[in-house]
Amino acid sequence: MGRWQKLIDQILCGHNDANVSFNDLCSLLERLGFVRRTRGSHQVFRRPGVVELINLQEDGSKAKPYQVRQVRDIIICYHLRDKG
């Protein structure tokens, strides 16, 4: 199992939302086809076919738990999986 699949499994599992690396989460979203735009300290991700915008802000080196939950909901709703 690859690194990105392990991260997706960790996010989908939902047991450890407070322990997801911010940089890894941003890289995963880009790998899933999202385009990043930076607005100050916020990283905004959008993807064709996905209505919601994902707005992430770093909390130290980790992603904020509620934002990990939002990413999980979008991965589940749109059946997004890593292609590589």
The domain that holds 16 is classified in CATH as: 3.30.920.30
Q: What is the mean pLDDT of the chain?
A: 93
Number of domains in the chain: 1
Q: How far apart are the first and last CA of the chain?
A: 11
Check residue 59 and give its pLDDT. 87
Check residue 84 and give its pLDDT. 47
52: containing domain: 3-77
Query: Which position has the token pair 């690859």?
Result: 2
* 44 to 9, 33, 67: CA distances (angstroms): 23, 13, 12
With 70 as the cut, is the pLDDT of residue 27 above it? yes
Q: Are 8 and 28 in contact (CB under 8 A)?
A: yes
Report the half-sphere exposure of 9 (CA within 13 A, side-chain side).
6
pTM: 0.92
Residue 63 belongs to a domain: yes
Number of residues written out for the chain: 84
Query: Which position has the token pair 């890289």?
Result: 27
